[in-house]
Amino acid sequence: MKDIRTEYKENFLRIEIPYSLIYENRSITEFIKYLGVKKIISKSQATDEDIKKLSHEIKRKIWEETQDWFLNE
């Protein structure tokens, strides 16, 4: 495996990953995406109920836009 470096300093863990390895390894890519999502969520003021309502609305709109395709195939 290519050189991944870690450094512990004060209250932080610093991880250095070569770009080429990021694109070669799906687990690393997914982990980086996960961290991005966690950062966005931590800044959100949405409640669980808000998220459920938004999810339901998105699913409903997707179904409305695609139901003909699914039902007429």
DSSP calls for 8-66: EETTEEEEE--HHHHHH-HHHHHHHHHHHHHHHHHH----HHHHHHHHHHHHHHHHHHH
State the Cα–Cα distance between residues 30 and 28, nearest whole angstrom: 5
Domain ranges in the chain? 5-71
Q: Give pLDDT, residue 6.
A: 94
Q: Hunting for tokens 């339901």 — which residue is that?
A: 56
Model confidence, pTM: 0.53
pLDDT tens, residue by residue, 12-71: 999 999 988 888 888 988 999 999 989 988 898 988 899 899 999 999 999 999 988 888
